[in-house]
Each structure stands twice: as structure tokens, then as C-alpha cells.
């Protein structure tokens, strides 16, 4: 365990080739998002981070962050957490569909392994309650010795972070119904407490016995009387809120993107952990000079010299889904690939999207050929495909985890075959190796006769002159991938929100020669400019 200023303990300064300069357009994020929150026995806030497979503890006085369960450890995709009086930490692992317990000495064991969509969890008077955040989710009491759970309720449309109230009833938000329910833990029918909310995703209680609930769609923090259902707004922050916790009488709220705020009086907030990018993936430069950033459940725009602007997220109208690859298709228009296995046109300014094709396995890079044909990489099936006017065509099969795609001026398609460590050129039915000897190429972009490749495991940006066959490293020690010596665990799907969540270090090029790279390890966007 170690205290750090960012996600990892040690940060290495990138090596930049002569004639190039590097700038971080966004500051590194301090967390891999921020999902479940819980106040620990030590008074610190413990933060579950699904995308980073990490649990951290935040000191509310200094903001210092300590990694409690690291990326690559036994706990995978943690979403919510709870402590018992002995200091045992119970964790729902949503991508694994299980609940684990971490003892104070750091040892971990699986408590229950059959909890699809495992998300909400709470401990109360010797009893552990958990739920499944899925359209037909269950609420259950878990056996602390690992026996079969006792089912309290079934077919609940996406229950989320729960808490036992002062009346002994178990309260939980029901995201699919936009309501808050309660149930007697000893049995009985559920009761609706409040409805017509802003998509509630967490419930806790203040010292006066009122419900405090975050609303993921509206971005509000509500205080609700559990007896009458009357409500008031404690704070109006921004869409994307996730969970909350009290440290004494102080209220702290998480945002999925990684921000933690303290809610003060009169709706004011104080930043404890600043907002940032969760897991920057695909990048695209629009015709208007606006950089489009895919960040999984969020998409952003970034203008040179400006700040990130959120363009869409889960629960906003027209959002195409967990966004990974992206290509500019025209003014304010993009084509994206999603972790749900779809290719879609997306107009973020209009809050509209249109599915072009769907039903694929682990989509990554996407590019648009002359004439408007969309080309995309299906990593899970080892294929590169195209779609135009609803017609899908296989361009090449039998590849080892293709990821990045790029289109040349002649219409030829270049493919980063990550699993084989090479870049291919597709000419009709033929596939020839253009560049090999790479560790795991991901994002690629072509500018004239130059090909730029993000070799993520090597943490390098490669320039390759296709006419001369000359290769050089533009930048090394980039913030890409997992820390040295860490093998990340595969993050399975979270239906219906997302399919399998894998990394993708994207790259985009501007007309002035600037290259933009996703620094997924630290949650930043990098600009490399020729001097």
C-alpha cells in the first residue's frame, strides 16, 4: 500500500524525440472513476473503481489517496463496498458477478460467486445484504459463511446502492422504475417510497433519519422524507453522480467519472478529488478543429487551449452506448463503436444516434473510407468489416485481436493486429504486413506517407515512413496500459450498460501535424507537436 498523487505510485516522464514537444491537454486523473463510496473505520472514504479494478482510500483532510486493492489484484471490477464492525470489507465485483470479502490483513476470499450484476451491498447488525443491478435483479441476504443466499425479492429492475433505515427497513433505488423502494429484511412485499426522480442510483440516511439519494441522470442530490416522500434538493452538481457517504455529519458524493465532492450548505460543493477522464479511448479530430474524446460511458469535446466539455453520457438522450472507437464523419457528426457491439452514427450536439450495424464481439477502432463506407475492427472475432447502407461485408478474418484501423488516401485499409504485433495493409482479399516487431499496436493514424502507431505495451508512439521503410520512436514511456509487472484482469460485460470493457489507446491527427494520444494509464489526453 502506498500514498500517491495519481492512480499509480510512480510516474515516469515521457521520452520525446528531437523535433517534437509533448503537452498534457488534460491533467492526470487521481482515480479510475469513482463508484461505490463507504466510510471506513479509520474515517477515510473508501472508493470502488470498476474500470480500474481498484479500491482506494481518500483522506478527507488532505485529499491523500492510498491504494487498498490494486489493479491486477484479487478483486476485479469493484462497484460497491461495505464494512462490518470487525473491519472486514465486503465488495461487489460487478463484472465478475460475485461478492468478495477482504480481511483487515489484506487476504481476500470469494463469499458468493453467483450474483450476476453484483452491485449494491450493505452490512447491518450482523446481516449482509446485496443486490444485482440488472433488469431482473434480485435482493438477497448473504450467508457470512459462504452458504446459499436468502432471496428477499426478485425481478427488480436494476436496484442499486442500498441502506437499512432507522426503521429497520431495507431501502434501495430502483433505476429501471425511477423510484426508491423499501422492504422488510425479514420478509414481505416491497413498498414504493418515492418516484418520478432523476434516476436514483444510491440511498443513504442522514443523522435525522432522512434519505439522501444521488440521481445519475439529473445530477441532483436529494433529501427525501421516508414517511411522506417529500423531497428537497441538497445540491445540483452534474449528470453522472454515483454514490455517497457520510463522515460524521459531512456528506461526500461520487461521480462515475472520478470526482468526489463534499456537499456543503446552501447547495455549495467542495472538491475533494477533482473530475477527470476515466479511461480515455478513441480520439477523432472534427472538421471544426474540435477533438472528440471517447471515455466509455462519457464522451467529451476538447478545443486546443480550452477545457474538456462533456458532450454526452449514459442516461442522456441519444447516447449510443459505452463508446470506444470514434471517427469524424462531418460537422458535429461522428461514427463510433461501442462495447455493446454496435457501430453507430452519433450527433452529440443533437443528442441523436443511429445504429448502422450491431451484434459484434469487442469492437475497437473505426475509420471512414472515401465514399462513406465505415470500416471497423472486431477484436473478439478477429475480423475487420465494413458497413454501407446497412450492408455488412467481411474484409479480412482470422486475425489476432485487431484493434486500430486507418484509411489511406488511395482507399486502402491499414489494420493494427494487436495480438500479432504488426500492422497490415488490406488490398482486396490480400493482407500484407507493413510493419511488424511491435508488442501490441492499438490506435493508428495515417498522414500522407507516414503511419503513426500507438504500441501500448511498449508505451511508445512509432512513426513509420511507408515509402522508405524507415521507423523511429516519436515518444517513449508514455502513460499507457497497466503499471509495469501488472497484468490487468479481463473486465466482463455489464448488461445492459456495456459489453466487455477493454483498453484502447486511440490516436488522432490534426491538419498542423499535431498528434493526439489517449493516455489511458493516467486518464489524460496528450498532444505531440512537431517543432
pLDDT tens, 258-280?
999 999 988 999 999 999 999 89
Instruction: Please state the rounded mean pLDDT for residues 244-250.
Output: 97
Q: Which of 519, 29, 517 is nearest to 528 (CA)?
A: 517
Domain ranges of the chain: 30-273, 283-479+502-530
**Which stretch of 228-232, 288-292, 359-363 has the lowest confidence by average pLDDT?**
288-292
pLDDT tens, 336-351?
999 999 999 999 999 9
Instruction: Please state the rounded mean pLDDT for residues 441-458.
Output: 96
**Which stretch of 132-136, 286-290, 329-333, 434-438 has the lowest confidence by average pLDDT?**
286-290
| Residue with the larger pLDDT of the pair 1 and 139 | 139
Q: Does domain 30-273 have CATH number 1.10.357.10?
A: no
Whole-number Å distance between alpha carbons of 247 and 268: 17
CA distances in angstroms from 75 to 56, 129, 241, 258, listed in the order given: 12, 19, 23, 19
pLDDT reported for residue 413: 96
> Could you name the CATH architecture of 283-479+502-530?
6 Propeller (2.120)
Instruction: Please state the rounded mean pLDDT for residues 357-385.
Output: 97
Query: Quick check: 136 pLDDT over 70?
Result: yes
Q: Which of 251, 169, 183 is nearest to 212 (CA)?
A: 251
CA distances in angstroms from 213 to 105, 223, 271, 321, listed in the order given: 33, 7, 19, 25
Amino acid at each position: 500500500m502506498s500514498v500517491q498523487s495519481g492512480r499509480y505510485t510512480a510516474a515516469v516522464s515521457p521520452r520525446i524525440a528531437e523535433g517534437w514537444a509533448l503537452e498534457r491537454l488534460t491533467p492526470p486523473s487521481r482515480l479510475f472513476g469513482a463508484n461505490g463510496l463507504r466510510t471506513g473505520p479509520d474515517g477515510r472514504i473508501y472508493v470502488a473503481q470498476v474500470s480500474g479494478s481498484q479500491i482506494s482510500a481518500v483522506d478527507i483532510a488532505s485529499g491523500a489517496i492510498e491504494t487498498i486493492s490494486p489493479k491486477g489484484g484479487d478483486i476485479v471490477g469493484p462497484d460497491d463496498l461495505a464494512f462490518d464492525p470487525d473491519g472486514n470489507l465486503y465488495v461487489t465485483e460487478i463484472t465478475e458477478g460475485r461478492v468478495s470479502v477482504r480481511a483487515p490483513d489484506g487476504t481476500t476470499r470469494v463469499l458468493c460467486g453467483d450474483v450476476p450484476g453484483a452491485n449494491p451491498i450493505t452490512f447491518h447488525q450482523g446481516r449482509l445484504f446485496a443486490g444485482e443491478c440488472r433488469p431482473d435483479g434480485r435482493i438477497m441476504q448473504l450467508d457470512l459463511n459462504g452458504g446459499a443466499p436468502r432471496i428477499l425479492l426478485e425481478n427488480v429492475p436494476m436496484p442499486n446502492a442500498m441502506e437499512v433505515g432507522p426503521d429497520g427497513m431495507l431501502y434501495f433505488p430502483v433505476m429501471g422504475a425511477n423510484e426508491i423502494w423499501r422492504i422488510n429484511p425479514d420478509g414481505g412485499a416491497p413498498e414504493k417510497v418515492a418516484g418520478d426522480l432523476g434516476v436514483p442510483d444510491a440511498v443513504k440516511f442522514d443523522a435525522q433519519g432522512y434519505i439522501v439519494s444521488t440521481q445519475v441522470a439529473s445530477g441532483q442530490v436529494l433529501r427525501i422524507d421516508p414517511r411522506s416522500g417529500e423531497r428537497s434538493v441538497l445540491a445540483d452538481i452534474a449528470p453522472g453522480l454515483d454514490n455517497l457517504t457520510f463522515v460524521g455529519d459531512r456528506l461526500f458524493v461520487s461521480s462515475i467519472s472520478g470526482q468526489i465532492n463534499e456537499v456543503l450548505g446552501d447547495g455549495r460543493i467542495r472538491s475533494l478529488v477533482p473530475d477527470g477522464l476515466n479511461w480515455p479511448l478513441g480520439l477523432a479530430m472534427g472538421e471544426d478543429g474540435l477533438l472528440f474524446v471517447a471515455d466509455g460511458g462519457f464522451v467529451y469535446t476538447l478545443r486546443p487551449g480550452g477545457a474538456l466539455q462533456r458532450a454526452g453520457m449514459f442516461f442522456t438522450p441519444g447516447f449510443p452506448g459505452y463508446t470506444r472507437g470514434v471517427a469524424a464523419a462531418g460537422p458535429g457528426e461522428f461514427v463510433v463503436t461501442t462495447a455493446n457491439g454496435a457501430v453507430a452514427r452519433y450527433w452529440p450536439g443533437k443528442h441523436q444516434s443511429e445504429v448502422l450495424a450491431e451484434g459484434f464481439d469487442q469492437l475497437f477502432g473505426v475509420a471512414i473510407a472515401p465514399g462513406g463506407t465505415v470500416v471497423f475492427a472486431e477484436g473478439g472475432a478477429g475480423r475487420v468489416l465494413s458497413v454501407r447502407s446497412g450492408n455488412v461485408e467481411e474484409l479480412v478474418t482470422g486475425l489476432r485481436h485487431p484493434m486500430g484501423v486507418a484509411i489511406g488516401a488511395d482507399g486502402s485499409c491499414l489494420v493494427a493486429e494487436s495480438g500479432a504485433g504488426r500492422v497490415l495493409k488490406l488490398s482486396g482479399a490480400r493482407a500484407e504486413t507493413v510493419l511488424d516487431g511491435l508488442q501490441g499496436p492499438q490506435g493508428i493514424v495515417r498522414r500522407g506517407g507516414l503511419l503513426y502507431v500507438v504500441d501500448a505495451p511498449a508505451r511508445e508512439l512509432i512513426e513509420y515512413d511507408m515509402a522508405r521503410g524507415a521507423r523511429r520512436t516519436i515518444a517513449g514511456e508514455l502513460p499507457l496500459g497497466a503499471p509495469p509487472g501488472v497484468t490487468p484482469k479481463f473486465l466482463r460485460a455489464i448488461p445492459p450498460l456495456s459489453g466487455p470493457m477493454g483498453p484502447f489507446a486511440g490516436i488522432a491527427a490534426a491538419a498542423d501535424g499535431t498528434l493526439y494520444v489517449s493516455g489511458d494509464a493516467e486518464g489524460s489526453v496528450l498532444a505531440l507537436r512537431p517543432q
